[in-house]
Amino acid sequence: MDSMYHGDVLIVDLAAGKTEQVDFVEADEAGPGLAAGLALYDRHGDADPLVFGSGLFTGTPVPGACLGFVVGRSPLNGDLAVSPLGMYAGAEMKLSGFSAVVVKGASAKPVYLWLHDGVADLLDASSLSGMDTWQTTDAIRKDMGESLIQVISIGPAGEAKSEAAAFSINYWGSGDSAALGAVMGAKNLKAVALRGLGMLDAEEPEELYNAASELIKSAPAERGFKRICSALGADDIDGWLKPIAHRHRSCFACPSACATFVKYNEPPSVLGSEGVEEPGMLVTSAAAAIWLKDGGWDAEAACRAMEAMARAGVDMLRGARELSAEPLSDASEITVAVKELKGAEEAAWPAGEAIEYGLFGPWVPPLASQDDWLAANRAGYVLGICPTCLLAGGIDTGRLFELCGPAAGIELDPAAVDGMF
């Protein structure tokens, strides 16, 4: 596939400490996005790999085109699982110069993978061992002299291979409810750092750009979690967060801004950057927030708990469910409680339709029937579009499939994609 992807697949052999680049044939043979990712997993399955990749439109102005993924075998049940790369991580994965990355085996010492502009460096991470995800993100960005690097890292939970572990994207946690963070820990892979200055070509760029612009204009541009809560039948959490809410944040190329930056170490009204270094937390998990709110937690305490979980590299969704049983308010007690999380609770949304999450996990809210929810995940991970946008954002999925031609000169049948996995 000459358009929408650039570069080869990077194969990383952690045991040998070597990397090689091979042709990205899987996109042509199996299809783009997760279809190629699963084919790569099958090809290298004997080496228990983690496969990092992105969807067809990831990194373009198509609405919601933020999505990348990590495929691996979950230590929770031994099944294959997909965890999302949202925010800017999916786009930086796409622009890093590698179409996908397969990480095989385990390293004898802690390492991290630094991908930038088609160059892959496997670097010693001994100095990062024991750091939480905030410290790891800061250290890598400082070492490289670039504050826009996206850092997929594990904290103490991942290093301990805890079933509660999740990888974190920068400071804010992730939708990894399959404990792929523990798989990174088992591989001695402390982090994958991404920075891409690449450029994506399209077969018919003007047609793709104009169509994407029209889709953006027709999509709702909402802020906060109200839409998700309303569709789930859950109480609104925006009002609960409001006293500490600072501003809303979008993922890459998303017209809506679900995530909410809250400040509790300085007044949320402070606009400048001259204040404290760590004023608060970007709340990205509506599900975690709903669990804690329904458990009787105060919003500030709940956000401190989410910060602690993100720092420790603990799955916020399962952790919030476990923490919801006993509301806490003291910061030191919250830190202790987070350290003691075992990942014993099943990951699930506290409200909405009963969904069998399977391969995809509960990152996407159960906003539809089982079939529609699965279809949104399948299409989303192949096309690189956030499935929540497809379910709740009013985006015409059929139109997205039509754009595969101008984007990459391919035809994708929605029904075929829905039957892929």
Task: Return the number of the residue (95 or 364) whose C-beta is nearest another protein.
Answer: 95
**Which residues fall within 8 angstroms of residue 165, CB to CB, at 6 or more apart?**
154, 155, 157, 158, 179, 181, 182, 185, 313, 314, 315, 343
Q: Does 105 bind another protein (CB under 8 A)?
A: no
Q: Supply the DSSP symbol for 93.
A: H
Task: Return the number of the residue (63 or 72) whose C-beta is nearest another protein.
Answer: 63
CA 152 distance to own-chain centroid: 9
CB of 35 to another protein, least distance (A): 21
What is d(CA 164, CA 360) in angstroms, rounded to the nearest whole number?
17
Piece of the chain touching another protein by CB under 8 A; list 103-111, 192-200, 313-321, 397-405: 192-200
Q: Does 148 bind another protein (CB under 8 A)?
A: yes
Q: Does 242 bind another protein (CB under 8 A)?
A: no
117: left (phi over 0), alpha (psi -120 to 50) or beta: left
Q: Does 247 bind another protein (CB under 8 A)?
A: yes
Restricted to residues 64-93, the positions that interact with another protein (CB under 8 A) are 88, 91
Q: Which residue from 15, 16, 119, 197 is in contact with another protein, where contact means CB under 8 A? A: 197
Reference 51, options 2, 112, 98; nearest CA is: 98
Task: Return the number of the residue (10 or 244) whose C-beta is nearest another protein.
Answer: 244
For residue 27, give Cα distances in angstroms to 6, 34, 383. 12, 9, 12
Q: Which residue from 22, 119, 221, 336 is in contact with another protein, where contact means CB under 8 A? A: 221
What is d(CA 228, CA 284) in angstroms, rounded to the nearest whole number?
12
Task: Return the number of the residue (171 or 357) whose C-beta is nearest another protein.
Answer: 171
CB of 402 to another protein, least distance (A): 18
What is d(CA 382, CA 35) in angstroms, rounded to the nearest whole number?
6
Contact 168/310 with Cβ under 8 angstroms? yes
Reference 224, options 174, 262, 265; nearest CA is: 262
Residues that contact another protein, how many (by CB under 8 A): 52
At 52, list the tokens.
């990092």
For residue 34, give Cα distances in angstroms to 26, 148, 175, 398. 10, 26, 16, 18
Piece of the chain touching another protein by CB under 8 A; list 72-80, 125-133, 142-150, 351-359: 142-150
Task: Return the number of the residue (79 or 146) whose C-beta is nearest another protein.
Answer: 146
CB of 312 to another protein, least distance (A): 16
Reference 261, options 277, 244, 278, 239; nearest CA is: 244
What is d(CA 288, CA 319) in angstroms, rounded to the nearest whole number?
8
CB of 148 to another protein, least distance (A): 5
Q: Supply the DSSP symbol for 223.
A: B
Phi/psi for 206 (5° steps) reads -65, -45
Q: Which residue from 47, 135, 143, 209 is in contact with another protein, where contact means CB under 8 A? A: 209
Task: Return the number of the residue (193 or 347) whose C-beta is nearest another protein.
Answer: 193
x/- track of binding to another protein for residues 156-185 (CB under 8 A):
--------------xx--------------
Restricted to residues 253-312, the positions that interact with another protein (CB under 8 A) are 253-257, 261, 263, 271-273, 275, 277-280, 282
- In the complex, the residues that contact another protein under the rule CB under 8 A are 59-61, 88, 91, 95, 134, 138, 145-148, 170-171, 197-202, 205-206, 209, 213, 216-217, 219, 221, 223, 246-257, 261, 263, 271-273, 275, 277-280, 282
